[in-house]
């Protein structure tokens, strides 16, 4: 079995070194590591090239493609992942995906590829919140899965390359929710998916309240664009009018109401935009 790790980056100079260090500290490495940069205007590419030169045994392939930025493509992340995967070697029949904004647990790569040796075609890795302050602690539980039935996130996901090919790759119609739509297409094909609870990455929710509002809105917008979860959003819209669920929810009224408000706004905007096209 040959494994390729892929990720996309854009103006990540503030955190890319930490991400790369967390990969360097892994117990097992990928056979190749393809990094797609969407035309960064900061020092991201310089840092990547410097790191690749210092650790040639990691077999890093850096691709710069300005089509994979929000300035050019409405589906920049999806396009970047698709191009990165397309540039993996033919011998790499398994793809592992993560986000450069994450930190990888020391055994993450080793753990996420283990289920493939048990016949898995898809592997759902796990993620946790990088808690650095009270803001992170306040919102962390809202963003963590409540059970083990959650859809994989492409910050910690792996699949056979032929599965990616069979569903046409990540959808490039929207900037967010691309991995959700990708997951649903894979699940619809009934590929064998196993979970790897020890394959953990740590994810930064947002920088502050304003950044969080933008992210929540963007998540909703992407799901609206792709017409996902209509009943779920109908329920959330109802909860905004009559906030019974947020009142009894363990996170309290304020947090749930705020989350629903911006996500529903984004969903309706995305839905409206997709219907106008």
134 and 259, same structural domain?
no
166 and 270, same structural domain?
no
Look at residues 203, 236, 267 and tell me which one is the last residue of a structural domain. Answer: 203
Taking residues 201-229, what's their average pLDDT?
Answer: 91
Least confident of 19-28, 118-127, 153-162, 202-211: 202-211
77 and 46, same structural domain?
yes
Per-residue pLDDT band for 257 (boundaries 50, 70, 90) equals: confident
259 and 164, same structural domain?
no
Token pair, residue 50, equals 């410097």
The mean pLDDT value of the chain amounts to 92
**CA dist., res. 271 & res. 226, Å (int):** 8
Task: Determine the structural domain holding residue 220 and report its residue range.
Answer: 209-276
- Measuring CA to CA, how many Å separate 188 from each of 118, 182, 259? 21, 10, 29
**CA dist., res. 268 & res. 261, Å (int):** 11
Q: Is residue 225 over pLDDT 80?
A: yes
236 and 149, same structural domain?
no
Summarised one tens digit per residue, pLDDT across range 114-148 is 999 999 999 999 999 998 888 888 887 777 777 78
If one counts the domains in the chain, the total is 2
Task: Please name every residue paired with 33 in a beta bridge, in sequence order, or none if there are none.
Answer: 5, 60
For residues 209 and 120, the model is more confident at 120
pLDDT computed for residue 252 by the predictor: 53
Q: What percent of the chain has pLDDT over 70?
A: 95
123 and 242, same structural domain?
no
pLDDT computed for residue 226 by the predictor: 92
User: Are 161 and 193 within 8 A, CB to CB?
Assistant: no
User: Are 129 and 136 within 8 A, CB to CB?
Assistant: yes
52 and 118, same structural domain?
yes
Token pair, residue 256, equals 């749930």
Q: Is residue 251 over pLDDT 70?
A: no
Q: Is residue 236 over pLDDT 90?
A: no
Q: Is residue 246 over pLDDT 70?
A: no
Taking residues 191-220, what's their average pLDDT?
Answer: 93
42 and 160, same structural domain?
yes
Q: What is the pTM of this model?
A: 0.91
223 and 93, same structural domain?
no
Instruction: Report how far Cα 81 is from the mean position of its chain's Cα atoms.
Output: 10
pLDDT computed for residue 144 by the predictor: 78
96 and 15, same structural domain?
yes
Taking residues 36-59, what's their average pLDDT?
Answer: 98
pLDDT computed for residue 13 by the predictor: 96
Q: CATH number for the domain including 176?
A: 3.90.550.10
21 and 120, same structural domain?
yes
For residues 248 and 79, the model is more confident at 79
Look at residues 152, 179, 203 and tell me which one is the last residue of a structural domain. Answer: 203
Q: Is residue 241 over pLDDT 80?
A: no
**CA dist., res. 229 & res. 100, Å (int):** 28
What SS3 string covers the chain? CCEEEEEEECCCCCCHHHHHHHHHCCCCCCCEEEEEECCCCCCHHHHHHHHHHHCHHHCEEEEECHHHCCCCCCCHHHHHHHHHHHCCCCCCCEEEEECCCEEECCCHHHHHHHHHHHCCCEEEEEEEECCCCHHHHHHHHHHCCCCCCCCCCCCEEEEEHHHHHHCCCCCCCCCCCHHHHHHHHHHHCCCCEEEEEEEEEEECCCCCHHHHHHHHHHHHHHHHHCCCCHHHHHHHHHHHHCCHHHHHCCCCHHHHHHHHHHHHHHHHHHHHHHHHC
247 and 177, same structural domain?
no
Summarised one tens digit per residue, pLDDT across range 171-196 is 998 888 999 999 999 999 999 999 99
Look at residues 153, 177, 203 and tell me which one is the last residue of a structural domain. Answer: 203
pLDDT computed for residue 245 by the predictor: 56
pLDDT computed for residue 253 by the predictor: 56
């Amino acid at each position: 079995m040959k494994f390729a790790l892929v990720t996309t980056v854009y103006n990540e100079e503030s955190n890319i070194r930490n991400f790369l260090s967390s990969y360097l500290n892994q117990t097992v490495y990928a056979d190749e590591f393809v990094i797609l940069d969407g035309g960064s205007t900061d020092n991201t590419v310089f840092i990547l090239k410097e790191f690749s030169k210092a650790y040639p045994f990691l077999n890093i392939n850096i691709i710069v493609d300005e089509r994979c930025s929000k300035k050019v493509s409405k589906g920049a992340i999806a396009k970047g992942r698709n191009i990165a995967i397309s540039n993996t070697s033919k011998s790499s029949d398994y793809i592992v995906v993560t986000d450069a904004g994450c930190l990888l647990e020391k055994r993450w790569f080793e753990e996420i590829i283990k289920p493939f040796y048990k016949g898995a075609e898809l592997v759902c890795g796990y993620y946790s919140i990088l808690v650095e302050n009270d803001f992170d602690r306040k919102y962390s539980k809202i963003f963590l899965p409540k059970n083990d039935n959650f859809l994989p996130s492409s910050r910690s996901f792996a699949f056979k390359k032929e599965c990616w090919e069979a569903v046409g790759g990540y959808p490039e119609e929207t900037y967010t929710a691309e991995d959700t739509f990708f997951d649903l297409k894979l699940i619809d094909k009934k590929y064998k998916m196993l979970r790897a609870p020890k394959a953990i990455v740590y994810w930064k929710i947002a920088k502050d309240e304003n950044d969080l509002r933008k992210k929540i809105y963007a998540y909703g917008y992407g799901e609206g664009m792709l017409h996902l979860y209509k009943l779920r959003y109908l329920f959330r819209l109802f909860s905004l009018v009559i906030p019974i669920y947020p009142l009894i929810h363990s996170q309290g009224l304020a947090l749930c109401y705020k989350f629903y408000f911006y996500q529903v706004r984004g969903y309706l905007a995305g839905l409206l935009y997709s219907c106008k096209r």
